[in-house]
Amino acid sequence: MKRGSDALTWQDVLGFFGQLYLLFQESLGSLFRGKVSYRQTMAQMAEVGVGSLLIACITVGFSGAVTALYASIQLVKYGQPSLVGGLVGQSLALEVAPVIAAIVVAARSGSAMAAELGSMVVTEQVDALRTLAVPPVRYLVAPRLLALLLMLPVVTLLANGAGILGAYFTATTNGVAPAIFWDSLQRLTSVGDQIRGLVKCIPFAVIIAMICCRQGLFTKGGARGVGRATTSAVVLSMAFIYVTDYFISLVLQDWVRRGFF
């Protein structure tokens, strides 16, 4: 059977990961050498932080409310309301806040990165940078990577606070006393839980930056290609975030058993 022109091959997969590695290597080199456009970095920090904060807080806030709804109903039913705050707090800190915040940033800011870079490619602005002896990765990719590394933990931390507030209001309307909720949260949720959740933001930020910038820089086919690059950037970022989250959780849990947290 003749292979279709759009069929995915092992060469395509290996080429994709190779391009991601080279992009990350060059971006990291630019960061360590300090050769980064700080104006671009500040603009991207505003895009990632301010632009994504509201929707991240809303999403995580209602996720915390839903988690508290089911947790409070079941635990109050079995006479354990003192576990609601801690259970919801750990869920938010370790999983809900970092993962959902990363998904929101990938969907909003990551798609904008892919679309912007893709448009620059099809209008030959990236070629113009090379003509002017300006490395596109240093000027375009490194600032976006740095912005994500700095702002994703901030967005996650604030979204986690919104999730706790949502959980508090839901739990207290379903039979959990306010004092019991806060006592449970403080007693069962440690600083180590918060740190482990924020640690996940580092690989998530790298995933979003590298995949979205790679999809944008390798755009082909004009305006239609920009649309395909943007869609694939968001889909791939989400898939990689969930897969990476599982393996990072295994590693962090092993560190907890070894007493690192």
DSSP line for 59-83: HHHHHHHHHHHHHHHHHHHTT-GGG
What DSSP designation does 134 have? -
**Strand, helix or coil at 37?**
coil
Number of domains present in the structure of the chain? 1
User: CA 64, CA 45: separation in Å to the nearest integer?
Assistant: 26
**Predicted local distance difference test score (pLDDT) of residue 130:** 85
pLDDT digits (tens, 9 = 90+) for 148-205: 999 999 999 999 999 999 999 999 999 899 999 999 999 999 898 999 999 999 999 9
Q: What is the pTM of this model?
A: 0.92
1 falls within a domain = no
Domain assignment of residue 223, yes or no: yes
Mean pLDDT of 76-97: 92
> In which domain, by residue range, is 61 found?
37-254
Does some domain include residue 69?
Answer: yes
Residue 175 lies in a domain: yes
In a domain, residue 29? The reply is: no
Distance in angstroms (rounded) separating the CA atoms of residues 189 and 177: 18
Residue 4: pLDDT over 60: no
